[in-house]
Amino acid sequence: MANNIIIFDTTLRDGEQSPGASLDINEKVQIARQLALLQVNVIEAGFPVSSPGDFESVKRIAREVRGVSVAGLARAVEKDIDSAAMALEKAEKPRIHIFLATSEIHRKYKLLKAKEEIIHLAVKAVKYARKYVDDIEFSPEDASRTELDFLVQVVEAVIDAGAKTVNIPDTVGYAVPDHYAALIRGLKEHVKNIHKAIISVHCHNDLGLAVANSLAAVKAGAQQVECTINGIGERAGNAALEEIVMALKTRQDFYHCSTRIVTKELIATSKLVSTLTGLRVQRNKAIVGENAFAHQSGVHQDGVLKERTTYEIIKPEDVGHLKTRLVLGKLSGRHALKERIKELGYELSEEEFERAFKEFKHIADKKKRYLMRILGLLLVSRKWKFLLFSN
């Protein structure tokens, strides 16, 4: 199957807008190299006009990272576009990403501009950027809260002006899956020249729906998904790349599309981003969380030991985890304890095992999981063996 969904990673731009995250130039280049290894299609490296540091990091990534498109963000004004074009000069595949808000709220309170003026500025900016590069993306900011008929006009106008990708941002995470999918279908139906551009989606997670909205949009025909590693980003974050990619891969039967992402690099990428940004990944985070492949209940552990697919829909190795982890706790059963004792190099008779299991349950009932880890270590020592088997 063709790798037909374009993965546009914005960890270094929208991701860096996470409160508390800030990266220096070398760190950004390091992440960009890892994103290239992961084989994302587009790296949004930054917003060049926003600071000298951002300009420099976009410039270095454009010069040093190969095999991917490198995008720079710009408002719909000439100085931003000039700055992005300059920073991207040495890129193998440069993309200028222009944004301008279109919703009534933004027009009325932020921009103080009428609809006609918005269309005029958007078209002018796209045409201006085309002087530098062919690959222009346009984002009508707050698209999901924009009147559909006006959004149709804007999208049609920027495609006529030369935009190759039109991104439909759910800037404030207001959309819900059915609504967002209907929006994408509405654009496909009403924008006359839509076949000349790639439809992209960009979802924020204010209602916890960024990934669900992005996937609903893919089902409705979007061809590019904008996302970040670990879902970091402004406020509640952006759609998490690892979740989008693994949902498309795991449910290919439903989505009938795929990406070119090297999924074995997902954990390494997640860890790098988390270490360098200082934004920790929650334990139960899908795909990359510490508990994503850990099983605690006896019933589940027994099932997984008999046949992994009873309780796992993804092979841990496929995303770069070492293997399934069976956590010994009060809910664990005989099967898991037997496996752990075997792993530790012990052979117990049935009678010894039954005594060990009884003792284990007794302690596990009282202790938390982290204590069980310590006890696991103690099992290796003579002292524990003595404690366990003497009475």
Which residues lie near Zn ion (CB under 5 A)?
14
Nearer to ligand KIV, 70 or 379 (CB): 70
Q: What string marks each residue from 119 to 148 as x (binds ligand KIV by CB under 6 A) or -?
A: --------------------x-x-------
Sort strands 224-227 and 294-295 into parallel, antiparallel or unpaired: unpaired
H-helix segments, 251-308 = 252-255, 266-277, 298-306
Least CB distance to ligand KIV at residue 172 (A): 8
CA 281 – CA 209 distance, rounded (Å): 18
Eight-class DSSP state of 175: -
Least CB distance to Zn ion at residue 147 (A): 20
CA 327 – CA 390 distance, rounded (Å): 25
DSSP 142-170: TGGGS-HHHHHHHHHHHHHHT-SEEEEEE
Q: What's the count of helices (H) and strands (E) in the chain, helices before strands?
A: 16, 10
| Contact partner at residue 332 from Zn ion, ligand KIV, none, CB < 5 to 8 Å by partner kind | none
Q: Binding residue for ligand KIV (CB under 6 A) from 48, 94, 169, 237?
A: 169
Task: Return the closest-CA partner of residue 107 out of 124, 125, 121.
Answer: 121
Q: Which two tokens stand for residue 354?
A: 């039954």
| Contact partner at residue 263 from Zn ion, ligand KIV, none, CB < 5 to 8 Å by partner kind | none
Least CB distance to ligand KIV at residue 167 (A): 6
Least CB distance to Zn ion at residue 73 (A): 10
Least CB distance to ligand KIV at residue 139 (A): 4
205 binds ligand KIV (CB under 6 A): no
- The region of 32-40, 165-173, 324-332, 366-374 touching ligand KIV under the rule CB under 6 A is 165-173
H-helix segments, 191-240 = 210-219
- Residue with the two structure tokens 């290796």: 380
CA 15 – CA 21 distance, rounded (Å): 8
Nearer to ligand KIV, 83 or 139 (CB): 139
**3-state secondary structure (DSSP) of residue 43:** strand
- The region of 63-71, 149-157, 163-171, 191-199 touching ligand KIV under the rule CB under 6 A is 163-171
Q: Binding residue for ligand KIV (CB under 6 A) from 59, 60, 107, 202?
A: 202
> Which residues, other chains included, contact 297 with Cβ-Cβ below 8 Å and sequence gap of 6+?
331, 332
Radius of gyration of the chain (CA): 25
| Contact partner at residue 99 from Zn ion, ligand KIV, none, CB < 5 to 8 Å by partner kind | ligand KIV
Least CB distance to ligand KIV at residue 127 (A): 20
Q: Which residues contribute to the site for ligand KIV (CB under 6 A)?
A: 14, 99, 139, 141, 167, 169, 171, 202, 204
